Amino acid sequence: MDHILEVKDLSKYFVGFTAVQSIDFFVEEGGFFSILGPSGCGKTTLLRMISGFEEESEGDIIIRGESMKGIPPEKRPVNIVFQNLALFPMMNVEENVAFGLKRQKISKTEIVTRVKEMLDRVGLNGFEKKNVTELSGGQRQRVAIARSLVLKPSILLLDEPLGALDRKLREHMKIELKLLQKEIGTTFIYITHDQSEALVMSDKVAVMNKGRFEQIDTPKNLYKNPKTSFVAGFVGESNPFEITSYENGVLTTSHGWKLTKPNLDYTPLKLFIRPEAFILNPTEDLEGIDVVEMKVKTILFDGANTKISAIITQSNDEVLISLPQNAQFEDLKEGDMVKVGIHQDDLKCYKD
């Protein structure tokens, strides 16, 4: 598959501060690529450089084989959707979507045709004459996307576009955006601090921290095989443990839990365990891993899943455990004692 965007050794320096440091990546034609990271990690600065609103300090941005050095935003084959949407409240839906086309001095006949086609594609047929102030949050979101896509950009950049929506509408819009991108085929580059948005919608996700990419991978691999302790802690839920020693293939945690993890070529300082990786009351051989006793502190039920907060009795440390979806633990209650183990392969160890 062709690369529509290549970013090479890109950096952005401000006085006394490095916002983006030596970023390298590419995005495939027609892909949904998300940049995921906490506030202040540099992701919006990176997006602004791709769009041309911020000049790079070093490196290059190449779109369809052409360097963007010195090319202003209005000349780049990209468009951007901001969190606040920036719709014109004095205009109706049709006028908002047509705004960019009019500035390009496209004929009235073509404007009418392209606006109608785009409103059909985003599910707003019949809304042409409605004022944008009369629309729901999700409908306004689709108007903003239609206004950008009607200009036929090679790449659509989206900067936290669902951040202002309530939770239920965000969940709905995640599905809508994913389906819309697949239907239209335009390459999306999506900025977010919300891991659920990135994992649900994306083909590839780059996890950004302190101006650098820690890992670029599929959502599944990011979750299953995080390459750094930051990714392990930031993507999904995890239980972190400090390692006090690693000898003869045996990890010892700060509270004395011994876990076999052979063949590591470094001394790990951190260990992460996903909540669903714990095995309650194991009946199988766990290959030398101690089974520890824990006390159920709290039961957390969210409608689809059940988790428990449990205390390791020998150390008083608290961990989060996901319960399997079967009837075995339906009667579990606060104060109950359970034995807990884990498989070697589910121990994620890091030296950073």
Structural tokens at position 16: 């006394």
User: In whole angstroms, what is the distance from residue 150 CA to residue 98 CA?
Assistant: 8
> pLDDT per residue over 68-88, tens digit each?
999 999 899 999 887 777 788
User: In whole angstroms, what is the distance from residue 293 CA to residue 82 CA?
Assistant: 50
User: Any idea which residue has 């941005």 for tokens?
Assistant: 61
User: In whole angstroms, what is the distance from residue 284 CA to residue 279 CA?
Assistant: 10
Query: Span 273-299, mean pLDDT?
Result: 85
Please tell me which of 185-199, 291-305, 307-321 the model is most confident about, judged by mean pLDDT: 185-199
Find the largest Cα–Cα distance for the chain: 76
Q: Is the pLDDT of residue 327 over 70?
A: no
> pLDDT per residue over 178-228, tens digit each?
888 888 889 999 999 999 899 999 999 999 999 999 999 999 999 999 999
Query: Span 87-116, mean pLDDT?
Result: 88
CA atoms within 13 A on the CB side of 183: 12
Quickly list DSSP for 164-194.
TS-HHHHHHHHHHHHHHHHHH--EEEEEES-
Q: Which residues of 253-275 are buried (b: 16+ CB within 10 A; e: fewer)?
A: beeebebebeeeeeebebbbbbb
Would you say how long the chain is, in residues? 352
Q: Which pLDDT belongs to residue 288?
A: 66
Confidence of residue 7 (pLDDT cuts 50, 70, 90): very high
Domains of the chain: 3-233 (3.40.50.300), 237-350 (2.40.50.140)
Query: Span 251-255, mean pLDDT?
Result: 85
User: In whole angstroms, what is the distance from residue 170 CA to residue 85 CA?
Assistant: 15
